[in-house]
Chain A
Amino acid sequence: MMRLVLAFIACLLLSAGAASAVGVDEKTLPDPAQEAEARAIMKDLRCLVCQNQSIEDSDADLARDLRAIVRERVAAGETPGQVKSYMVQRYGEWVLLRPPFSARTAVLWLAPAAVLITAVLLLWRSRRRMRPAGPAPLTAEEQARLRLLLEQREDQP
């Protein structure tokens, strides 16, 4: 058991290397606070070549060029908003992995919640309708017939 635990911990420690996914030969900013800010911005920018990755993750050449630009601008004192705005001016809103909430993107942001709520509502209503009403209670006449039938059965062995 102990060996399993140790093996698991070893795997976790080894995988920590992958957390710094940026290219090994890249020049990071000397100021760690600035580098952290640059990395945070990179995580929010889409790599347009490998479109489901951020430029922080992607190996594409363009991603590397864009990372360099992000670092330059952060080192020059630009805010994250300004750096992202620079990218959006050239590549459009699609370059942001988290599109801003606006009239145009409202459908994108709200649709999943709306679909979920609608689905829950529909399920709830259909469950209410499907719950069987149970057989109606017996009328006096039917109760009398039932007693008769039961008595007849008791007479027969």
Chain B
Amino acid sequence: MKLKPLLPLMVFVGLAAALAIGLTLKPQEVPSALVGKPVPEFALPPIDNQTVGFTAADLAAGGVSVVNVFASWCAPCRVEHPQLMAIARDTDAKLYAIAYKDKPEASRQFLDRLGNPFDAIGADLNGRVGIEWGVYGVPETFIVNGEGQVVHRHVGAVMEHDLNETLLPLIRRLGG
């Protein structure tokens, strides 16, 4: 059987292929358990009287929604902020913020300095609403369709290429 001497080579190739695929995986990025499901039930008060809070019902009222979980103490949130401004400027999607475990004054200062793309900013002071959304770090960004279903979750800062290659096309496809 001429196949036997090839066996170590075949095992090596198989193992190398499996490990090569493994190098491209990102176990830190847990896939959201909410994708394909309706948004969780929640109601958030506004961070201050210059804005409004929002609830699950607002996200099912039609139109694409972008829900961004941020905090003033979160450095990557600064990095991704221009991309959020771009979404507000270049699409019809409504932007909702969950200010996660943040002092309302600090959240407001953050937005005053970097710009406010949000139609509503909810104060999640104890992080419980974040837990309902399966949030395990900041920032996270969810795309919700017109029926209030979570369609996509982005973990970490939204960089320009994430915006251009994934989020903007998705928002446009959903009609936003």
Interfacial residues, chain A to chain B (CB-CB below 8 A): 48-49, 51, 61-62, 65-66, 69, 88-92, 94
Contacts and interface: CB of A to CB of B under 8 A. Distances in A.
Contacts, number: 38
Contacts of A69: 131
Given A69-B131, A90-B131, A90-B133, A48 B30 contact: yes
Interface in B111-135: 126-128, 131-134
B136 A91 contact: yes
B49 interface: no
A66 B132 CA distance: 11
Interface residues of B, number: 18
Interface of A is mostly: helix
B33 interface: yes
B28 interface: yes
A49 to B, nearest CB: 6
A92 B132 CA distance: 12
A65 B131 CA distance: 9
A62 B131 CA distance: 9
A49 B34 CA distance: 18
Contacts of B127: 61-62, 65
Contacts of B83: none
